[in-house]
Structure 1
Amino acid sequence: MELSRSEQKRRIKQLEKFVHELVQQPPGVIRDLPCDTEVRDLLLEAVALKGGARKRQLKYITKLLRSTPVEPLYDFMSRRRGSKLREDRAFHELEYMRDTLLSEAVEQYRLHREQQVQWEEHWDSQAIRDIEAQLPGIDTRALARLGYQFALTRNRRHSREVFRLLRAAHEQLQFKKG
């Protein structure tokens, strides 16, 4: 799935919040972070900064982290702070999957209406294929049906049901892993 500009901005904002949280850690914890020395030194410098200088430093650190894998940092902070951080990240990923699916369903509905062609409840969807790749074993027929129902009615109940399916599949996958 290619990320929209809005989604990219949301993810950058989320990473920026994470960097802000890293800077609030004691210096001993920052020294133990599993990242390269440049980022670690910049985080230690940011602790002493105030106001605009600190904001600029945090933005710069965020920019550096965008091009590197941050999973080790998330894992480190999860162990330190519990699993809340990982849960929040997973929640946002599931929201993104739901929104992508529903947007595609609405677009398909619009295209079929314009072409005056009957649209089937079990339609072919790239978003559903992408979701299935990330969450194997998810009920793709139910996702297609709910996306179809949402596109026809715009009823939020269908949106919530899509999210419930995604979350259940995610939890099942986590249970199998651990």
Structure 2
Amino acid sequence: MDRPMVDEERGTLPPSKSQLKREAAELQRLGEALVALSPARRAGVPMPDSLREAVELAARIRQRGGRRRQLQYIGKLMRTIDTAPIRAALEAFERQGAEESARFHRLERWRDRLLEEGDAALEELLRLSPGADRQRLRALIRQARAERLRGGAPKAARALFRLLRELPDLG
């Protein structure tokens, strides 16, 4: 009967073939995430030059077969390096995107409150952001309400959102 090879130092079994395949697939998915990044974000990810060149090439390849082979090559390169800094950078980008999205939604809610509630919401906003331009906010709220009643394009509502986005105390 065949006995599995035991690592003498640790007294454990080596990883199974299935486990090795799962790890290789995970590294390939990590490579796909790198390829999907914009060039500017990709430049901020710490990685060896050989991996960076392979990722840049994969981003340029459009043929499915060639791209698949290049992604497999990226996975192979990643098996020889520590992927923790790459994972950390990707997680930071993900968190940053989630924070931006949450701030965007908070600003949308403020815009909607200002249009629905009027002065009560405006006073609360001015308490939170004392440097806000009360006169400009009131004018935009009035214009946005008029546009909504006319059924026109929400030009003033967009301008109101941009003004809210510039306020540092909101979000």
When normalised by structure 1's length, the TM-score is: 0.44
Name the larger-Rg structure.
Answer: 2
Greater per-residue helix proportion: 1
